[in-house]
């Protein structure tokens, strides 16, 4: 039996908890977190509920580590679409347009993602758009593939329910899964927070951006973690948009993305503002993001667009990329930046291996 405390209840922590319970029936998992997906509001950073979210791997052609992680995610989400319609993951075509200005900035070279080639490319029907399929005055090229949209809080709640199901009992001595609301200043405190009342064997650190506040993380490590702010609008989808639609423009920190959810709302983003920590959104940003909808995609109906909510989120980036690493009895899993959903299943596979190196009773 291995007693595990997962610190953090974002998509990374919950997916890890689920995989740990599923992998080994003797694992007992407690999630300790200051926020949970069903919370109505959160005063501290909690990124996962704010995301779109889709699968669009950002790995470079050379980055085999992230490619491997994202590949796991692509097939896992396809499996959920097929077999678990209640998970909150919906199949959607993912269509991408590249503006003429972006093409010029890229040195007049078409840039297709790494997954266009190979197995995923075949399985997702990746194809370049024909020139007749877009406005040639604005766009240079485009591509499309079988993608998906995740309804984020709903999906995380589904995963928590799956954890209860695997637990075998919701309470009492037979329960293998528990949730505890709480905040730790140091990861070492979490060893004493296992629901069994006994000392945990392993801690899995899934604190996202707030990892930088943990007092027992090395100062150099803490300084590597930084936010990239995103602002999204949850709107009623009266526009006619049915595909995840992305317009790549020539700005480093802005683009346009639309994620129509099955439930009738749509997420409109985006911006990527490094080290911007404010929750205040300048009205001019909103005008730019929403203005791009009617400029680049006039074929849809943007009149009387009803904005339900404006959401500000902070992507948990880390210099050097993801930290999936074991230090003694602590396994770190954070720094997933703008890719926490698509990478969650692949990261969890790696975490499983690291946790199994510790096990219970080992002298690490």
Ligand X SMILES: Cc1cc2nc3c(=O)[nH]c(=O)nc-3n(C[C@H](O)[C@H](O)[C@H](O)COP(=O)(O)OP(=O)(O)OC[C@H]3O[C@@H](n4cnc5c(N)ncnc54)[C@H](O)[C@@H]3O)c2cc1C
Please say which residue, 183 or 360, places its beta carbon nearer to ligand X: 183
Phi, psi of 186 (to 5 degrees): -130, 145
Least distance to ligand X, CB of residue 8, Å: 3
Give the nearer residue to ligand X in terms of CB position, either 92 or 103. 92
Asked whether residue 255 is marked as a ligand-binding residue, the answer is no
Q: Is 356 annotated as a binding residue?
A: no
Least Å from the CB of residue 155 to ligand X? 11
Q: Does 74 bind ligand X (CB under 6 A)?
A: no
For residue 131, the minimal CB distance to ligand X (Å) is 28
Is 207 annotated in some ligand binding site? Answer: yes
Instruction: State the number of binding residues for ligand X (CB under 6 A).
Output: 41
Is cis: bond before 53, omega within 30 of 0? Answer: yes
- Quick one: which of 2, 54, 99, 237 contacts ligand X (CB under 6 A)? 54
Which listed residue (2, 27, 30, 33) binds ligand X by CB under 6 A? Answer: 33
In a 13 Å sphere around the CA of 355, the CA atoms on its Cβ side amount to: 31
Task: Indicate whether 342 belongs to the interface with ligand X (CB under 6 A).
Answer: yes
Q: Does 50 bind ligand X (CB under 6 A)?
A: yes
Q: Tell which one of 2, 27, 30, 47 touches ligand X (CB under 6 A).
A: 47
Q: Which of 151, 178, 336, 355 binds ligand X (CB under 6 A)?
A: 336
193 binds ligand X (CB under 6 A): no
Cα 155 to Cα 38: distance, rounded to the nearest angstrom: 11
Query: For ligand X, which is the closer residue by CB, 175 or 234?
Result: 234
Least distance (Å) between residue 151 CB and ligand X: 12
Position 99 contacts ligand X (CB under 6 A): no
Given 5, 12, 256, 289, the residue binding ligand X (CB under 6 A): 12
Binding part of the chain for ligand X, among 42-50, 98-106, 136-144, 285-293 by CB under 6 A, reads: 42-50
- Per CB under 6 A, contacts with ligand X among 210-269 are 210, 230, 232, 269
Q: Is 19 in the site for ligand X (CB under 6 A)?
A: no
Q: Which is nearer to ligand X, 12 or 140 (CB)?
A: 12
Site for ligand X in 108-147 (CB under 6 A): none
Residues in 285-324 that interact with ligand X by CB under 6 A: 313, 315-316
10 binds ligand X (CB under 6 A): yes
Q: What is the 3-state secondary structure (H, E, C) of the chain?
A: CEEEEEECCCHHHHHHHHHHHHHCCCEEEEEEECCCCCCCCCCCCCCHHHCCCECCCCCCCCCHHHHHHHHHHHHHHHHHHHHCHHHCEEEEEEEEEEEHHHHHHCCCCCCCCHHHCCHHHHHCCCEECCHHHCCCCCEEEEEEEEEEEECHHHHHHHHHHHHHHHHCCCCCCCCCEEEEECCCCCHHHHHHCCCCCCCCCEEEECCHHHHHHCCCCCHHHHCCEEEEEEEEEEEECCCCCCCEEEEECCCCCEEEEEEECCCCEEEEEEECEECCCCCCCCHHHHHHHHHHHHHHCCCCCCCCCCEEEEEEEEEEEECCCCEEEEECCEEEEECCHHHHHHHHHHHHHHHHHHHHHHCCCCCC
Beta-carbon contacts of 4 under 8 Å, excluding residues fewer than 6 positions away, are 20, 27, 28, 29, 30, 194, 200, 201, 202, 203, 204, 355
> Among residues 21 and 268, whose Cβ is nearest to ligand X?
268
CB 158, min distance to ligand X, A: 15
Residues in contact with ligand X by the rule CB under 6 A: 7-13, 32-35, 45-48, 50-54, 183-184, 206-210, 230, 232, 269, 313, 315-316, 334, 336-342
Residues marked as binding for D-dopa? 315, 338
């Amino acid at each position: 039996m291995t007693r595990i405390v997962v610190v953090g209840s974002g998509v990374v922590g919950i997916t890890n908890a689920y995989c740990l319970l599923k992998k080994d029936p003797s694992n007992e998992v407690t999630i300790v977190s200051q926020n949970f997906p069903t919370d109505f509001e959160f005063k501290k950073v909690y990124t996962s509920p704010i995301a779109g979210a889709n699968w669009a791997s950002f790995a470079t052609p050379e980055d085999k580590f992230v490619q491997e992680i994202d590949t796991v995610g692509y097939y896992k989400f396809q499996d959920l679409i097929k077999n678990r319609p209640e998970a909150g993951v919906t199949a959607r075509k993912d269509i991408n347009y590249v503006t003429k200005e972006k093409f010029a900035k890229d040195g007049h070279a078409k840039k297709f993602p790494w997954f266009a080639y190979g197995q995923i490319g075949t399985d997702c029907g990746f194809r370049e758009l024909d020139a007749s399929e877009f406005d040639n005055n604005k766009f240079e090229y485009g591509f499309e593939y079988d993608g998906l949209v995740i309804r984020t809080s709903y999906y995380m709640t589904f995963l928590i329910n799956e954890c209860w199901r695997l637990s075998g009992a919701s309470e009492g001595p037979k329960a293998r899964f528990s949730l505890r609301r709480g905040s730790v200043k140091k990861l070492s405190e979490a060893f004493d927070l296992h629901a069994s009342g006994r000392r945990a064997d392993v801690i899995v650190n899934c604190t996202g951006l707030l990892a930088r506040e943990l007092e027992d993380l090395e100062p150099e490590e803490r300084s590597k973690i930084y936010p990239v702010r995103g602002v999204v609008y949850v709107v009623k989808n009266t526009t006619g948009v049915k595909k995840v639609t992305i317009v790549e423009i020539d700005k480093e920190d802005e683009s346009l993305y639309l994620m129509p959810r099955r439930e009738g709302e749509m997420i409109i983003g985006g911006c990527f503002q490094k080290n911007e920590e404010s929750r205040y959104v300048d009205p001019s940003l909103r005008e730019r993001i929403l203005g791009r909808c009617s400029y680049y995609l006039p074929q849809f109906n943007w009149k009387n667009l009803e904005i339900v909510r404006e959401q500000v989120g902070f992507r948990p980036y880390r210099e050097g990329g993801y930290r999936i690493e074991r230090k003694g009895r602590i396994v770190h899993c954070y720094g997933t930046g703008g890719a926490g959903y698509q990478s969650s299943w692949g990261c969890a596979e790696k975490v499983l291996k690291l946790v199994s190196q510790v096990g219970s009773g080992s002298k690490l």
